[in-house]
Amino acid sequence: MTVRLRTTPLHRLRRRTAVLLATFLVATTVTTANATTDDGAPPPIAVEVLAGHAGFPDDVGVTFTRKLSGERREVIRVRDAGHLVVARITVQPGARFPWHTHPGPVVVSVVEGDLVYQQASDCNERGYTTGDAFLDPGNKVHTAWNPGDAPTVLVATFSGVPDGGQVTLPTPEQPTSCDRTVANDRRVEPVGRDRVPGRTPHTGEVPGWSSVR
């Protein structure tokens, strides 16, 4: 993956405004990873905002290149990197994200456990484990789930987020093209080294996931 940044100076006022806004949003929009459901169990997916909206005081654009197995190399250009949001996400065994997109690219680090990432464009199941990182281009409809028996912990850096906007955009119509693959084929594409075999994920809604800002 190749990343290029470009910067040019802007006004100091924008810097002060961005700092104040980031401080306010961290204080008001954090969803703690230690929250529990009514029966005392941890939620399927918990999101803790580590750093709220942080705007660049300079004019910043980002260029990523990504080459997935079986696909052509793609170039992802973001002329305006917008705001960054950093979140810690804990995914319980079998829990799955609804299909969604993002305003911009997301860099994901797998801190603990295993994760399967799937794009609606090809339905391939790509597995990642502790110590791995991957790039979510943001503009492709996708889902992900925990195929293991222990919680998966991720740290995600969202870029290109509009000022005050949400980091996740729900897909109005959930794709069904990958349902047969998920239920029957159970393909988990290895990435770098052996992975935990996939299993049919829990597909329930994740309360509050799309409202994280």
Of 56-65, 128-137, 179-188, give the lowest mean pLDDT range. 179-188
Distance CA 167, CA 161 (A): 6
Domains of the chain, first to last: 2-202 (2.60.120.10)
Q: What is the pLDDT of residue 186?
A: 38
| Residue 98 reports pLDDT greater than 50 | yes
Q: What is the pLDDT of residue 176?
A: 80
pTM over 0.75, yes/no: no
pLDDT band per the 50, 70, 90 thresholds, residue 113? very high
Render pLDDT for 64-77 as a digit per residue (tens, 0 to 9): 999 988 788 999 99
| Residue 11 reports pLDDT greater than 50 | no
Q: What is the pLDDT of residue 210?
A: 56
pLDDT band per the 50, 70, 90 thresholds, residue 195? very low
- Percentage of the residues of the chain whose pLDDT score is greater than 70: 66
Q: Are 64 and 3 in contact (CB under 8 A)?
A: yes
Render pLDDT for 174-192 as a digit per residue (tens, 0 to 9): 778 787 544 433 344 434 3
